[in-house]
Structure formats: C-alpha cells, structure tokens
A and B are shown apart, each in its own frame.
Chain A
C-alpha cells in the first residue's frame, strides 16, 4: 500500500471540522478577549490616582429624569441616541419627560487596559409606566465641562432587558488616545417609548469618573504596576481587572448550577428541607485557602435522609450577585446525613480567597480575590433520599440539591 502523505494529512486535519468545534471556539471568544485585555493591561503602568477608589455604587433611585439638574426644555428628538455625537461639541440637553423613570447605576473601579483606562458597570431602569418600553440600548457619553470628549463605550444587552452592562473606555473621541488624567462626567442616554407611542430620551447621570495618568512603557517591557501607581501589585491589578470582566460579562447559567464561576448565584427559594447556618468567618488576607466548619440542619420539623458530598461544604463568594470565588471539591465520596427535627450536623467547610477561573483548572496563573467586600454563602451538595414532613407520608424521591445558606457580607483585606 502506498501513501499520499499530503492527502492523508489534509484528511486527518479535516476530522476536526465539525459544528461542535466551531461552537466551542466561538464560545471561547469572550474568554479570549478577557485574557487579551489582561495581558495588554499588564504591559502598562497606571500612575497617579485610580479613580473612584474601591468599587462604588451610585444609586439614583427615584430620580425624576428630565427634572432637576436637566436644563429644560428641548424639543423631543426621538433618534437622538442613534445619531453620533459631535466630538468637542456641547452635549445636547435632553428633552423633558414626566414619566419618572428610575435608574440605578453601579460603577466599578477604573481599570487600565492597552487602549486606555476603562470603567465598567451596570445600568438598571425601572419605574416605566404601563405601556412604556425601552427602545434599544443605552449609549454612554463622556463629557468634561459639558463638552463631548470621550468615544462611545460598549453596552451589552439582550431582548427585553432593563439592566445593561457597560464598559466605557476613557479615550478621546477625537483620536482614540487615552484621555488626559483628570475628572470627567459619564452620562447615559436611553430612548423610551411612552404609552402614547412618543419616543423621547432619558438621561441618567452624570457620574464622576477619574481618568488616571497613563504611562506607556516601551513595547515588550513588563510594567511595574506596583507601589508608585495604584498601590496595587501587578498581580492585584490583574486580579481586579479579571474580576471586573467577570462582573461585566457574566456567564449564562441555564442549568441553575451553584456555584458556577462568573455566573449569577443561585440562592434557592428558601424551601429546601435542609438549611445551612450562614458563614461566620474572618477571611483575613486575600489569596489563601483554609478549612472551617459548617452546620447543616433540617428546616422546621422535617426529617431528612440524604447523601452529602464527603468533602463537605464550601464557601461561595459573590460580588454583585456573580460568583467569583469558591474552592473546587472532589465529590466522589459521600457521607450519609440522617437528621431528625432539630438535629444538626457539622461538616467540613472549605474556603478560598482565590479568584475562581484562575489557576489550576482555570485560565492563567492563580489570582487572589481583590480586597473588597463580598457576599458569602455556604453551599453543600446533597442527594436527597427521603424527606418526611410532619403528618405526611415520607417522600422517597431521589433528587440532587445544593443547599445554600443565607448570604452575609465578608470583607477581604
């Protein structure tokens, strides 16, 4: 038998050409974008004050948009947000509207990337009158002294959304260069179609953002992001950037897994037959792992027989409702829980101060969770075998369940 090597190699390479590979690769684009941004960020130095300090929540609850600080009145301009703003020109005043749309904004810490500094956050609209709806997605604009100076940011959305995640680069609308260090104003522009069909604009904000001084080293040089700049080490800066990327672009969690790194936490509906005591821990400094003890008991007067993960429970850390830290546990071994009314059982509790998705089993080197305040729950995987409520027949249906405690706030120093 004679071989045509070129032909056979081409055929062999072709065996990977299927939809699954294409889907997996496409599904990894966002992850790759995050990794690229982190690498780019690590090559640059940020000096001077990094704006906003710790993650800052800016709440504009109940704000009557169109009243108060907004200069009245202007003619309705339905397509205003779809028209590019003129760089260097005054930001047009929004039209007046009387609907009382409320906006809550969360701005996270300014981070530095290859293309300049960026601020990420969320915008949530509420209080829309019946029959009114948001039209399209908000656009963001950076101004200084009322003049448009920044390029438009990115806004993520899906159909029917009233919460939008955004990433706003602090770069010039003129040439894309990083904006000079200093304070700027960030405003959002959102079209709303009222009950009468009229479309007008609401204008949440402004919020103050601080552009840091950028100092770009020679190509290829490793940046020292340490003490002279933000007060963080390069690792801490990368950890902060990575965490904020996770918060800005959360994973979908269609199966309701808990915990799932970078996805919204599934905290249950409070009706599980087992309950866990909330964590009572001091996490100390970031970047370490440790073990403790968790207590599981039955809810009310129920009796429960279940198999629990032999490894025990784990502490799950969340930021803005997104899972950002937990320890991987090998769930091969199980331990039997047989709890009557009022009985409780101690199980090992594993905790980590490492950012999930990094290090072994994740992407890149292990990163510590940035110093900050987090929501924390204890989670325990069980297989329910029999649940007996008072006065009822035992329910012997077997089903998996992740028991989750009430959340508490925990600070990583």
Chain B
C-alpha cells in the first residue's frame, strides 16, 4: 500500500466521523455530508505530493468547504435521487434528539450558503474573521455582514444568543488559517 493510501486510510479511520460532522453542519444532510467528505478527500489526495501530510486534515476541511459552496448543481442532483436511498436523515444517535438540536438544524437551513459557512467556521471551527475571509476569499467586512445577518436570522428562530454577538465581533487572530480545529 502506498504511503498516501495509508495516510488516507488512517485519516478516514481516525477523523472520518469528525469530518462528516463538520460537513453535516454545512450541508444539513448526513448522506450528502459523507459525499462531501469523500469528494474532498479525493480532491486533496489527488493533488499528490503537493499536500504536506501534517496538514492534510486542514486541506480536507478546506476542500469540504469549497466543495459545499460550489456544489449547488450537485445538491440539486442529490435532491432528485435521495428518496431512493431512503435513510432517515435525522438519524437517532446515542442520545435522543433534543428540540434545541432540531431547531438549530432548521435555523442553519434558513441561512444562505455563505452565511451558513461563516457561522459554522466562526462558532464551530472557532476561526477568526480574518481567517474566515481568507478561506472564503472575501473581505473581512463581508464576513462580518454574513455573520451579523446569519446570527440575526438564527436568533429570530431560536431566541437570543448573546454570546454569539460577542464572538461574532471578535476578530482577534487566534486560529490557524489552514488547519482549523483539529480536535473536533
């Protein structure tokens, strides 16, 4: 087995579900999240020797994000065939689904793709505004607008989120741009 295959296998085994969780927050669909992660892994590893192995998860997360943002056509195709798969989307985990979790999922679904990406990168990946702007290739001002609009819309559905306002305004550089949060 080639070194890159071993790396791929190890990454899927050790970080596969974490990557799917991240993709799930972005797209809101478990099966599509798995597809997103697989596409991102293929995209990353197909680049071959240009990907430093120590940063590979960060590259995969970045590829998940770009694939999600670029993937409108794919999502339409998936929407056309998803009924054939017939897997319950809100799959019960080890703990019963809470109303809050369902509401958060619905609230995320009310955001535009870029708003949603900004919210997930800021509040789940714990990235700074400049880092998000770098990932999305937009200005920091645009990121702040997306965050502000996104948080406001979620608040209208979920209720007040005081910590979110404070965190959204915080643009202190403290997160790694490329790798994101490896612990999740």
- Residues of chain A having any CB pair with chain B under 8 Å: 1-6, 8-18, 20-22, 24-26, 28-29, 31-33, 35-36, 39-40, 114-115, 154, 219, 361
Contacts and interface: CB of A to CB of B under 8 A. Distances in A.
B15 to A, nearest CB: 10
B86 interface: no
Contact of A40 (B46, B120, B124, B155): B46
Q: In the complex, which of the residues A3, A4, A35, A154 has the most CB atoms of chain B within 10 Å of its own CB atom?
A: A3
14 contacts: A2-B159, A3-B160, A3-B161, A3-B164, A9-B120, A11-B100, A13-B24, A16-B33, A18-B94, A25-B16, A32-B41, A32-B45, A36-B8, A361-B81
B13 interface: yes
Contacts of A115: 2
B177 to A, nearest CB: 20
A166 to B, nearest CB: 13
Q: Top 10 nearest A-B pairs by Cβ distance?
A: A13-B21, A39-B46, A25-B16, A9-B124, A5-B164, A8-B104, A3-B161, A1-B159, A35-B42, A17-B17
Given A4-B163, A32-B38, A21 B30 contact: yes
Interface in B57-80: none
Contact of A15 (B5, B18, B91): B91
Majority SS of interface residues in chain A? Answer: helix
B16 A12 contact: no
Q: In the complex, which of the residues B30, B42, B167 has the most CB atoms of chain A within 10 Å of its own CB atom?
A: B42
A36 B42 contact: yes
Nearest to B22: A13
Interface in B93-135: 93-94, 97-98, 100-101, 104-105, 108, 119-120, 123-124, 126
A236 B167 CA distance: 53
Contacts, number: 133
A111 B151 CA distance: 52
B103 to A, nearest CB: 8
B12 interface: yes
A251 to B, nearest CB: 17
A13 B184 contact: yes
Contacts of B24: 12-13, 15-16
B20 A21 contact: yes
Majority SS of interface residues in chain B? Answer: helix
A115 B46 CA distance: 11
Given A13-B184, A361-B81, A40 B42 contact: no
A154 B1 contact: yes
Interface of B: 1-2, 4-5, 8-9, 12-13, 16-18, 20-22, 24-25, 30, 33-34, 37-38, 41-42, 45-46, 48, 50, 81, 91, 93-94, 97-98, 100-101, 104-105, 108, 119-120, 123-124, 126, 151, 154-155, 158-164, 167, 184
A18 B91 contact: yes
A23 to B, nearest CB: 10
A29 B10 CA distance: 10
A321 B107 CA distance: 51
Nearest to B159: A1
Contacts of A35: 42, 46
Given A25-B20, A29-B8, A17 B93 contact: yes
A291 B60 CA distance: 43
A142 B126 CA distance: 51
Contacts of A361: 81
Given A10-B184, A14-B93, 17 more contacts: A3-B104, A8-B100, A8-B104, A9-B119, A11-B98, A11-B100, A12-B104, A13-B21, A13-B22, A15-B21, A15-B91, A16-B24, A16-B93, A20-B91, A22-B13, A29-B8, A32-B42
B45 A18 contact: no
Given A16-B30, A33-B5, A3 B158 contact: yes
Given A13-B124, A29-B9, A22 B16 contact: yes
